[in-house]
C-alpha cells in the first residue's frame, strides 16, 4: 500500500468516531435536559450553569472516547469514506435536530 492510498491513522480514526458520537450525544443531552428539568437543575449545580456542565461533559467524552477508540485495532480497519460519511451525517443530524427541537418545543 502506497502512502497516497493509505487510510487514516488509528488516532485520526478513533477521534473521528469520538467526535461523531460526542456531537450526537450533545444534541440528545440538549433535548433531554430541555424536556426533563431535574436534569437541567442537576447540571446547573455541577458547574455554575447547565451550559457549562454540558460543554465540559462533551469535551471530556470526546477525549475519553477518542483515546479508547484509538487503542483498538479495529479503528485502523474502518474505511475512511465511511468514517467521513458518518461524521458529516452526525453533524447534519445534530444541527438540524437542534433547530427542529427548539422550533417544535
Binding region for other proteins (CB under 8 A): 3-9, 11-12, 15-16, 18-19, 22-23, 26-27, 30, 34, 48-49, 51-52, 54-55, 58-59, 62-63, 66, 80-81, 83-84, 87-88, 91, 94-95, 98-99, 102-103
Rounded to a whole number of angstroms, the minimum distance from the CB of residue 88 to other proteins is 6
For other proteins, give the closer residue by CB, 68 or 84.
84
Q: Which is nearer to other proteins, 52 or 68 (CB)?
A: 52
Closest CB 38 distance from other proteins, rounded Å: 19
What is the Cα–Cα distance from 23 to 80, expressed in whole angstroms?
19
Minimum distance from residue 86 beta carbon to other proteins (Å) = 11
DSSP track, the chain? --GGG----HHHHHHHHHHHHHHHHHHHHHHHHHH-HHHHHHHHHHSSSHHHHHHHHHHHHHHHHHHHHHTSGGGGGS-HHHHHHHHHHHHHHHHHHHHHHHHH-
Amino acid at each position: 500500500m502506497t502512502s497516497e492510498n493509505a487510510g487514516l491513522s488509528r488516532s485520526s480514526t478513533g477521534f473521528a468516531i469520538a467526535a461523531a458520537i460526542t456531537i450526537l450525544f450533545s444534541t440528545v443531552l440538549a433535548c433531554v435536559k430541555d424536556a426533563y428539568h431535574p436534569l437541567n437543575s442537576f447540571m446547573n449545580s455541577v458547574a455554575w450553569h447547565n451550559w457549562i456542565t454540558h460543554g465540559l461533559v462533551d469535551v471530556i467524552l470526546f477525549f475519553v472516547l477518542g483515546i479508547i477508540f484509538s487503542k483498538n485495532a479495529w479503528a485502523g480497519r474502518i474505511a475512511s469514506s465511511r468514517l467521513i460519511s458518518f461524521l458529516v451525517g452526525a453533524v447534519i443530524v445534530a444541527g438540524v435536530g437542534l433547530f427542529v427541537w427548539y422550533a417544535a418545543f
